[in-house]
Structure 1
């Protein structure tokens, strides 16, 4: 018999389904039997799941390796274990964990492998913890494992008001790094409060504005935009600097293959990387190394634990743009795509 919490007698789960290429209003709310955890799995009552840029691409059919429609989106989640699979550790029941899922997180109950869980410190609110799961792992790894920033350096963060961007700014500032952050003017006060020097991303001569602040170039650029502007990002690097590309937002509304823009970007990055100019390029993929599951999970757990510790002590703060119940996911996705918010829109449990 599976161990379970007394209050989890529910026989059904609510989930948000992406049926095809639709506007946010086309998301569907469905109810199905609650999943049953298998051996090595637990059943998690989801308290918070985020809306990231990945889901925005998925609804357009533009995410590189998204599953076939229909499916349940949800790149990450935070929730409490309510049941363990056969032979599982009953001591896990009642404890709060985070998990990186890629899909499936927009649901009230989710079965997850125990190996995928990262414990959330008791003092952290679940919605706040959720904002630094995929965003925190991404930002930490790009800063410390790829760019290897050092105190006193200067970096450029595009989209400094976004979910990843706002986390990047805080982690870099905490590491003693000077940050220049691009955003729309309406977000400049928020970006400044995070510790960055804000610049208007629509500035016709943005490279000149960056050069005025960093005459010798910046030590790293974090670019989720891709497209033609990636050349400017590379050109702003100081010798020894690193361009970290982690998306192709500029092409999200272009028709055609979801893979072609990625292949084009990878080709440019590889060419620049091979040039004898003392500058490095890297395309960041959070799932890199997954073919060695134990190493992948250990690295992910170690990095997210570092970020949770900073959040727990107040060294960084959660940027929750809005908390919206799961059943109103269409409204939440539209808000996340509006470009009017700072931080991350979080889907929360429909019941307290």
Structure 2
């Protein structure tokens, strides 16, 4: 029997500790009640981001104590509203950033966190550009501010953020060099970028062949020692935008130290009189000013949704997997074999006989 047939119940995926994907737990619990200013979203889609891959290893910088429900973002329909919330929101589709908590069939959120999804968009398609779209848009347009005619280097151009970033840059008239494993080069090329093998020992030289004067921006989610090459590949006036520490995902030890070392290195580079800029992007940094944070969230994601709705960019859905099979979704996302984002969707409802 599907868990959602239980009255007033919901299904959630729990990360109990540092476990393999098979260690994720599926739990049925009472459906949440919205408080004043809150809504309950009925899940339509949530993604498997790199953040969850780090979290299951205990390696995400500021993850909560175990156990907790992962899920960095989601798309869903308002099922219930709390006191003080417009009841006409029920039945309308919204997206939200959560950092954790999105892998559940019902999620309580402040109404201020919601960004409306255009009605024509498929929920899973929209989900691919929530955290990925905001991240890519803000890094490209708010931080690096690369203009049409420029050239950028996108590491991991086949990934969730990377594939979105490539498309946004191409739409803005920016030339893209994208790194990926050879198996993904056709997919990267189809997005409009020039693919290079990220494992090539002469990668910097290959980038220099394509951009002899350096690139206007490098978007680096890898961190580690390779960040040095990313910095050196910048043209004068270029910007290195670092937004992750993938290189240390499987390295034992502190979850905070790799980030702190990376931020420290970027800060020191800022002091060099070489005309290059560095920035560590954290999507949550703006929450110190909530009104500005939410305004930018709605504005930037709204722009990305509009581009998705009119076909200027396309959703990169690697797979759609039922919520109860989150372990399979995690394994697939970590396999390195897919382009785009693995999406969790609601489990199918049983038919009248109780069978799926």
Give the superposition deviation at 1:149. Answer: 1.0
Name 1:191's counterpart in structure 2. Answer: 188
Of residues 219, 236, 239 in structure 2, which corresponds to 1:239? 236
Name 1:309's counterpart in structure 2. Answer: 306
Name 1:3's counterpart in structure 2. Answer: none
- 5+ residue gaps, structure 1, are 1-6
3-state SS in 1 of match to 2:34: coil
Residue 147 of structure 2 is aligned to residue 150 of structure 1: yes
Q: 1-side partners of 2:41 and 2:134: how far apart?
A: 21
Q: 1:116–1:10: structure 2 CA closer, same or farther, 3 Å change rule?
A: farther
Name 2:60's counterpart in structure 1. Answer: 63
Q: 1-side partners of 2:209 and 2:146: how far apart?
A: 21
- 5+ residue gaps, structure 2, are 350-356
Name 1:278's counterpart in structure 2. Answer: 275
Cα deviation, 1:66-125, whole Å, max 9, x if unaligned, reads: 000000000000000011002321110000000000000000001110000000000000
TM-score normalized by structure 1? 0.97
3-state SS in 2 of match to 1:290: helix
TM-score normalized by structure 2? 0.96
Of residues 198, 201, 226 in structure 2, which corresponds to 1:201? 198
Q: How does 1:1-352 map to 2 (within 5 A)?
A: 10-351=7-348
Give the RMSD, CA atoms, in angstroms. 1.1
Q: 2-side partners of 1:80 and 1:351: how far apart?
A: 16
Cα deviation, 1:174-202, whole Å, max 9, x if unaligned, reads: 00000000000000000000010000001
Give the superposition deviation at 1:351. Answer: 2.8
Contact 2:85 2:111 in 1 (8 A): no
Tell me the number of residue pairs that the alignment of Structure 1 and Structure 2 aligns: 346
Query: Structure 1 stretches (4+) deviating beyond 3 angstroms?
Result: 7-10
